[in-house]
Each structure stands twice: as structure tokens, then as C-alpha cells.
Amino acid sequence: MGWSRIVSVGLLALVLGFGASSQVKNPGQLIVVGTADAISLDPAWHYDIPSAQIIFNVYETLVFYERQRVDKFMPVLAESWEVSSDGRVYTFTIRTGIKFHAGGDLTPEDVAYSFHRAMIQDRTGGPGKLILEPLLGVKSMKALAEAEGDVKACERVKAAVRVDGNKVVMTLAGPFPAEPFLQILSGTWCAIVDKEWVIAQGGWDHDSATWRKWHDPKVEASELFDKMNGTGPFMLKYWKKGDEIVLERNENYWGEKPKLQMGVFKVVTEWGTRLLMLKEGDADFIAVPRANISAVEPLVGAEISGYPINKPFQPIVRLAKNPEGTVRVFKDLAGSSMDVGFMNFELAADSPFVPTLGGQPKPDLFSDLNLRKAFSYAINWAVYLEDVYLGEAVQPRGVIPQGVLGHNPNQPVYGYNKAKIIEHLKLAWGGEVWEKGFNLQVFYNTGNLMRKAACEMLEMYIEELNKERPGKPPFVIDVKDLAWATFLGHAVAGRLPLWFSGWMADYIDPHNWAHPFLHSAGSLAVRINITKDKALSAQFDALVSKGIGLLDPKAREEVYFQIQALSYEYATHIWLVHATARSYQRMWVRGWYHNQLEPGANLAALWKASLDSVTLGARGSLVIYGADADKQPAKHLWFWIENAGPGRVKVTFDWAGGYEAKDLAREYILEPGAFITKGGPHTWRASKVTVEELDGKRNTVVMYNFP
């Protein structure tokens, strides 16, 4: 629908010029409009974001993140927990007096059953392996059963997570660092279900002899496919498949009662329709593809950046071009994915894409270090990040991205260098490459214009060197696209010579990066046949195993530094880009925060309230709210008061009864267009702000705040 896009962008620009109302629409409901429906509501089966964002609002886990922190955990269904000195045994004391939505009581048996069920279900392509790996040291239940027999395998599952009075004890199979383990436990796949209720729905009877019947089910065959019964702040009202999921507030919630009454998750695949819904206030959050960013710009009233990883939020607000805008955008949000160029050391025998060197097939073309180095020097990151990612991305300094333990900001990286490309091409394959030329296809998945741009950059910088070597057979790079599934199929089978693809972390730990990319058994490493270089591969294997085996963060960091230095020295990959994300939301949404491991809107933290603004006759007042209009203290808050002009105003703060911002004066004179902002992790109570105009002009002052 190429035309559709052109027409929609053009016309939307016109329509968005019309004013939009800022009166809160549907105040008790939060409406999230995305492009895909949930696949399954079974915590053990699902492994996709649209399903996870429903599950994490309905079910609860033993522990969970402290707001945006991915390294700090708070107890949820566990009252507290202890870790043994060797880091191998976790003992969780289970909270009492908690009821499931259907009325059942939460017991330690429910907790243990939930973990057992997740492990024995272990459907193909599902999240079961995330739990099996730390607890049993195996990748799949099938593998465990093959090794030990069905009954014994199940007994091992039960022994790994067992009930002890009001406690649940988990014993790890081997050393595993605490932070990633707690991140795994915070994931929706570890949600706690009601054992009796699940069995009543036709679920596993908890018998070690029968589990096979519930193992690896098709999506519709799992008993919790479209039913939910959690302990969380919201309950499933209905799932209208393909259309919307509605969650309603759990009035008997054991924790702090949510402010929203309802969460509505809608599926709207047409971009233009989603955008119009945001403008009309029929959507509070919408999914915005990067290619459509410019179409939302007319609606944006404030751009907010400065959301760091694992640090208090100190926002930087920039007023957008449209002061009437009803949408705010959070930019530069930490993501958990990376795009990488893969150079295949030796293609699979059945590859239809074998490159040629001097006209002869050369499946192991990239096993040559100099060739890999030449290609690594042929990406111009400064241009690429600015043009393709609009500057909202960074060049990774190796396999470990920013914000993750083991990231080395001082690690040298490759960058465009024509002389170096020539130098290494002349050395590659003992000079054969330079003399005889090559013919190579490079791949990206259809529609991914960012990856296409990287392929084309390689093509341009390498092929232009043909001018430097007249009379010789040329370097030919052919940029090709393949539909996603075909692309993936060929990539996993090791049939592509060079391609750009991505990786998204399940938990923020260097092991979740180093292992898949560089360990000989890593799912991405097998795709480039890294074991072709046995010595190199053995070094990586030793380092990766050492890294996960250590518990001391400092010692681990050192190991990951070594891994990245080795990867740089051997130019194993083109570490292309670590992109940041954006969130577009109506300004009336309050309480939002970003945690890159949370799957979506945390309904319990959010509510809606209009922008506070005054049009001054002579004098007016604004209120900086605490956590809500009930004047509850807030733990995180920031506000921003802007004088939209035309004259000057005097702003006076009255901190009676609340926190006094020590670095704020009591009075300010604001010139037209000026603003005051303050934020941080403080306890705030509602405070009155008096605004007075000074120049006898009718002024507008806008205040915008949220905890």
C-alpha cells in the first residue's frame, strides 16, 4: 500500500492542523492501541509482547522491578526472600491472605505448581527454557526427559522448586548471577497461577507420570489460552479476539488500589486510523513506526528525554513546535535490542547463496580475518546513525550494549576508513581478493529500511574501490531482500554469507548477549559457523562459561571486557546499532515510567488528568499534584510551568505542608516562552502555585506535571 502511505501522510498533515481538545476523554480508562493482538493468555505459553502486556497486569510474580530500575527488585507475592551464601538456593516467604480473582487463596503450593507447570509445558519456541536453564541446567524439558526418563525428569523439576512450610525453595543447577535470575522471575512467564483452578480447567494434575499430556501444546490446546485468574490489580473482563482486550480493576486487590477503572487494549493495524484515534483522544498510547514519526509531529506538545538506565529520572523537556499539542513523546528510551552484521565463516553445504572468489565458489570467504576487517571498516557510523536513525541510536562498542554490566565505554571500535579497507582487502586470502575480485550477496529482511541502508553502504564503499584497481575483475556486492520468514529460515540454517539482523534480550545480563553471539552453542553463533575458527571459538567458549560462573560483578565485568576485546581483534561481527525507543502518549496520561523489561503500560501506576493551565485575567493559580488529586505523597515527581505569553508573569510557590524544593526560589519572573522545571525522587504533596501577570496583557500559563 505504497500509495496509501503517501496519501495518508499528506492528508494527515492537513487534518492534524485542526485544533484538538485537551479535555480528558474516558477518564477512568486507559486505551492502548497497537498493531497486534495477544496470542495466548497462558503465562507458560506466551512469549510475545502483546500477550505479556495483558498478563503482567492480571497476574503477579514473586518479585518485580522497582519502577524503571531493572537492577532493583521489590517483593510482590513473596513477602521476602533470602539467598544462600553460594548463590545457589533462593528461599521465598510467600505472602498470606491474598486471593485469586476467582476466589481461591494463594498458597506456596500454587507458587511451586506454577513453576512446575511452566517447565513441563515448555512448548517449542516458548519461554520455558528461560526457567529450565538456571534451575535445571537444560535447554528443554524434552532433553531432560530423554536423558533421565519421564518420571525422573518431572521429579527433578519438582525438586528444583519445592514447598517448605510457608516458603518456596528454589535450588539452581549451577552458579547463576542473582540479577538475571531475579529478572527471569520478574518475567510474565513466571506468573503465579491457582493450582486447583488450573486443574479444574483441565490443566495438569501435578502427577509426575502424566505430564507428557500437557507438554508442548498447540496454542489453543493450553487450558489457559483465553482464561485468566491472577492475583493482580486488574482482571480480564473480556477478550474480543482480533479486536480488543478489556481489563477491569480488581476491587479486592490486596495492594494499593489502582486509580484507573479499566485498561483497554485495541488492535488497529491501519496506521492512519491509529494516528487519528490519538488525535481525537480515543487512544492514549499508540504504536508509531519509525517511518511515520514525522506524521505525529504536529500533535506533539512536549518532547522529553533524559531517561537514563537505572538512575533517577531527570527530565529534559523541550517544547515542540506546536504549543497546543496534546501528545508528549519520550525520546531516547533505552531499548534491549541490537542490530548486527553477521559474516558467515562457512556457509552450510545447501546454501544457494555461495559467494565467489575469482569466479570460483568460496563458501568460507569470511573465514579470512582481513576480509572481515575490511568489511568492518566499511560502515560510516556518523552518517548512518544520523541519517537512518535520526541520531536516536549509538554505535555499540561490542556485544554488550550500554547500560548492561560488562559494557566497556573505552573499547575501540571500527569506523569508516578507506585506507584500512584497501589495506585489508589487499591482504585478504593472500592477495587473491584484491587481484581476482569477488561476487557476494548481502541480505536484509524485506521492509527493514535501516538494514537495507547498511547493506547499501557496504556495497557503495567496497565497490567504489574498483576504480583503484583498473583491469582487475571487479568487487561485486549485490544487495538482496528476503521476506522475514524466508530470511530467518536461511539465516538459522547458516545459508546466508552476510546479513543484518537483530537480537532482543530477555533479561539484562551480559550472558544473554555473549552466549548467543559468541559461544559455539549460541543460537546466533551457529548461524555464522564460528567453530570454523576452532582456536578462536574455544577462547570464546572458555570466557563465556567463566563469565556466567562468577558471582562477583567486578570479576564478571573483567571477563566481558576480554570477550569484547577478542571480538574486536577478530572482527567477528559488525556491531551495527543499539537503537533507542520512543513512547507517544496523550499528555493527560500520568504516572508513566519506562522500564525496558516491562512489556507495556503498567495500568496500576497510571491514571489520567488534564493539563493544568490558566488564562490569566490578572492572577490565577495552579496545583502541583502529588501522586494524585487525593493529595497522596508521590515518590517521583516533576513539573514544568511555562509562560506561553504574551507578557511576563510572576510565579510564586506555596509549599505549605509539602516538600520544599530547596533549590527553587519562592518567586520567579517568567519572560514569555520561559519555563521552570524541577523533578526527582522526592516526596511531594500537592502544592499551590500562584501566577500573576505583570504587563497588563492576557497571559496563558501552562503547567504540566506527573509523578
Partner 1 sequence: MFAYIVRRLALIPILLVGVSAFIFGMLQLLSPWERVAAYVSDPAALREGRDELELLIKKYGLDQPIHVQYLEWIKGVFQGNLGWSEAARMPTLQAIAYYLPASLELTLWAAVPLLVIGIWLGVMSAVHHNRWIDHVTRFISITGWSFPTFVFGLVVLMIFYGALGWFPPGRLSTWASLVVNDPGQFRAVTGMYSVDALLNGRLDIWADAVRHLVLPAITLAYLSWALLVRVTRSSMLETLRQEYVQTARAKGLSENKVIHRHAKRNALIPVATIGGMMVIGLLNGVVITETIFNYKGLGYWFAYAARQLDIPAVLGFTMFNGVLMVVGNLVVDILYAVIDPRVRLE
Rule CB under 8 A: is residue 291 a binding residue for partner 1? no
How far apart, in whole angstroms, are the C-alpha atoms of residue 441 and residue 117? 45
How far apart, in whole angstroms, are the C-alpha atoms of residue 49 and residue 38? 8
Rule CB under 8 A: is residue 241 a binding residue for partner 1? yes
Among the residue ranges 2-10, 402-410, 549-557, 658-666, the one whose residues contact partner 1 (CB under 8 A):
2-10
Rule CB under 8 A: is residue 598 a binding residue for partner 1? no
Nearer to partner 1, 133 or 557 (CB): 133
Among 238, 654, 671, 697, binds partner 1 (CB under 8 A): 238
Q: Determine the straight-line distance between the first and last CA of the chain, rounded to whole angstroms.
A: 41
**Closest by CA position to 653, among listed 612, 691, 705:** 691
Among 79, 196, 226, 481, binds partner 1 (CB under 8 A): 226
Nearer to partner 1, 194 or 223 (CB): 223
DSSP-derived pairing of the beta strands 262-267 and 29-34: parallel
CB of 480 to partner 1, least distance (A): 16
The DSSP call for residue 212 is G
Among the residue ranges 288-296, 319-327, 462-470, 498-506, the one whose residues contact partner 1 (CB under 8 A):
498-506
How far apart, in whole angstroms, are the C-alpha atoms of residue 11 and residue 614? 33
Among 91, 93, 210, 273, binds partner 1 (CB under 8 A): 273
DSSP string for 276-315: HHHHHTS-SEE---GGGHHHHGGGEEEEEE---TTS----
Please give the C-alpha separations between residue 332 and each of 171, 335, 580, 597, 615, in angstroms, as whole numbers: 39, 9, 5, 15, 33
DSSP-derived pairing of the beta strands 244-249 and 234-240: antiparallel
How far apart, in whole angstroms, are the C-alpha atoms of residue 700 and residue 697? 10
CB of 39 to partner 1, least distance (A): 6
Say which amino acid occupies 336: S
How buried is residue 40: exposed, middle or buried, by Cβ count under 10 Å (0-12/13-18/19+)?
A: buried
Among 84, 166, 294, 523, binds partner 1 (CB under 8 A): 523
Other Cβ atoms less than 10 A from the Cβ of 8: the count is 19
CB of 138 to partner 1, least distance (A): 13
Q: Provide φ and ψ at 247, rounded to 5°.
A: -110, 140
Phi-psi region of 242 (alpha: psi -120 to 50; beta: other; left: phi over 0): left
| Binding pattern for the stretch 406-425 against partner 1, x by CB under 8 A and - elsewhere | --------------------
DSSP three-state, residue 204? coil
Rule CB under 8 A: is residue 26 a binding residue for partner 1? yes
Rule CB under 8 A: is residue 245 a binding residue for partner 1? no
Rule CB under 8 A: is residue 280 a binding residue for partner 1? yes
Among the residue ranges 65-73, 182-190, 523-531, 549-557, the one whose residues contact partner 1 (CB under 8 A):
523-531
Q: What angle do CA 222, 223, 224 make, to 5 degrees?
A: 95
CB of 12 to partner 1, least distance (A): 7
Can you list the alpha helix ranges (DSSP code H) found in 23-140?
A: 49-58, 108-121, 128-136
Identify residues 450-489 at the interface with partner 1 (CB under 8 A).
483-486, 488-489
Q: How many residues bind partner 1 (CB under 8 A)?
A: 70
Do 91 and 82 touch, CB atoms closer than 8 A? yes
| Binding pattern for the stretch 185-224 against partner 1, x by CB under 8 A and - elsewhere | -------------------------------x-xxx----
CB of 237 to partner 1, least distance (A): 7
Rule CB under 8 A: is residue 131 a binding residue for partner 1? no
Rule CB under 8 A: is residue 14 a binding residue for partner 1? yes
Q: Provide φ and ψ at 664, rounded to 5°.
A: -110, 140
- Residue 691 β-bridge partners: 620, 651
Nearer to partner 1, 17 or 409 (CB): 17
Rule CB under 8 A: is residue 32 a binding residue for partner 1? no
CB of 526 to partner 1, least distance (A): 6
Residue 235: partners with Cβ closer than 8 Å, 6 or more residues away: 58, 101, 228, 247, 248, 249, 250
Nearer to partner 1, 33 or 343 (CB): 33
Residue 84: partners with Cβ closer than 8 Å, 6 or more residues away: 90, 91
Among 71, 109, 244, 456, binds partner 1 (CB under 8 A): 244
Nearer to partner 1, 278 or 302 (CB): 278
CB of 124 to partner 1, least distance (A): 5
Q: Which residues bind partner 1 (CB under 8 A)?
A: 1, 3-4, 7-8, 11-12, 14-16, 18, 26, 29, 31, 36-39, 47-49, 124-126, 129, 139, 216, 218-220, 226, 237-238, 240-244, 246, 262, 264, 266, 268-270, 272-273, 276-277, 279-280, 282, 483-486, 488-490, 492-494, 503-504, 506, 516, 523-524, 526-527
